[in-house]
Amino acid sequence: MVSFAKGHGTKNDFVLLVDPDDELLLTDAAVRFLCDRRGGIGGDGVLRAVRARHVPEWSGDPDLWFMDYRNADGSIAEMCGNGVRVFARHLVAEGLVPAGTTTVGIGTRAGLREAEVLPDGRIRVAMGRPRLAAAEVEVSLAAGVPEQRWRARAVDVGNPHAVVWLEGDDLDGLDLTRPPVWTPREAFPDGVNIEFVAPVGDHHVRMRVFERGVGETASCGTGTVAVAAALADRGENQSESTWRVDVPGGSVEVTLRDGDAWLTGPAEIVARGDVAWPQEEA
């Protein structure tokens, strides 16, 4: 049996494993089992906490905790904005960082991320510098339906995103049960997370997302950062702006300052337990 915790950030939910010495064999099949909502525990992804010294691609502080993030289908992603808040909450709750710690450095495949526990309980993460691509891509939901085709802005937040701004279309009416299609395909050779955004008010939008390796989720933290960066770029040249992004699972805040981004939102641990580790198929 292996100990796990279950947590979520705006209902983007994760199975958490603590594996300081890199002893768990976290295969794609094991991830799919853990994320299975009927046969396993259930989650949009797995967050494995391993000491950074065991991660070959990490060249920073070896004593940091590294967030080994996997999508529900077993694929690896560079970064997860909701996950990193939940990960920080777990490190603090489990005493895996010194008592009294409020700011935690976390290694990720997208680089170092600093997470700060705020007095109101939310967690703010320094998300680095989102990169906007000059070229636009086209996104469609149903091949051949002209009214379900939009231009999207490509934004890199460590992981890839395409942001679709819906002028008049009904966000709630979109069918996200099947993966959206993008062209040109070469724009995202490793796949992409696709955000659909509708206006609510001044610096306030609503978003739905189809995540690479998962499907539609209730929230995507890196997606909200991509949305804020894309919208800020449409407006006047502001050095600082804060955006409220409502998602089906709640609400987060993104601040952009001189090109860097901070993501603030809730992070909850809701369960702890033991799980039978899946046997490898022969």
Task: Give the nearest distance from C-beta 57 to ligand LBFN2T5F in angstroms.
Answer: 16
81 belongs to an annotated ligand binding site? yes
Provide the token pair at 167.
């002028």
Between strands 204-211 and 111-117, the pairing is: unpaired
Query: How many residues are there in the chain?
Result: 282
Of residues 172 through 231, those in contact with ligand LBFN2T5F by CB under 6 A are 193, 211-214, 217, 220-222
CB 235 within 8 A of CB 243: no
Closest CB 71 distance from ligand LBFN2T5F, rounded Å: 5
Q: Beta strand pairing status for 12-18 and 45-51?
A: parallel
Indicate the residue type of 278.
P
80 is an active site residue? yes
- Write down the least CB distance from residue 192 to ligand LBFN2T5F, Å: 8
CB of 156 to ligand LBFN2T5F, least distance (A): 10
Residue 171: count of CB within 10 angstroms of its CB: 15
The catalytic position among 30, 197, 220, 225 is 220
* Between 72 and 91, CB nearer to ligand LBFN2T5F: 72
How distant, in Å, are the alpha carbons of 9, 68, 75, 217, 278 from that of 40?
Answer: 20, 19, 17, 18, 10
Q: Which stretch binds ligand LBFN2T5F (CB under 6 A): 74-82, 106-114, 164-172, 240-248?
A: 74-82
**Residue 204 Cβ vs ligand LBFN2T5F, minimum distance, rounded to whole Å:** 19
Neighbours of 161 (CB within 10 A): 29
Whichever of 80 and 115 has its CB closer to ligand LBFN2T5F, that residue is 80
Closest to ligand LBFN2T5F by CB, 53 or 191: 191
Q: Is 237 helix (H, G, I), strand (E, B) or coil?
A: coil
Residues 6+ apart with CB under 8 A from 241: 203, 228, 232, 235, 255, 256
Single out the catalytic residue among 67, 80, 214, 267.
80
Q: Is 77 in the site for ligand LBFN2T5F (CB under 6 A)?
A: yes
> How many residues lie near ligand LBFN2T5F (CB under 6 A)?
17
Per-residue burial over 258-281, b if 16 or more Cβ lie within 10 Å, else e, is eeebbbbbbbebeeeeebeebeee
**Whole-angstrom distance, CA of residue 103 vs CA of residue 168:** 41
Closer residue to ligand LBFN2T5F in complex, CB, 77/227: 77
Is 220 designated active site?
A: yes
How far is Cα 220 from Cα 75, in angstroms, rounded to an integer? 16
83 binds ligand LBFN2T5F (CB under 6 A): yes
The CA radius of gyration of the chain, in Å to the nearest whole number, is 18
Where in 92-151 is the site for ligand LBFN2T5F (CB under 6 A)? none
Tell me the catalytic residues. 80, 220
Interface ranges with ligand LBFN2T5F (CB under 6 A): 12, 71, 77, 80-83, 159, 193, 211-214, 217, 220-222
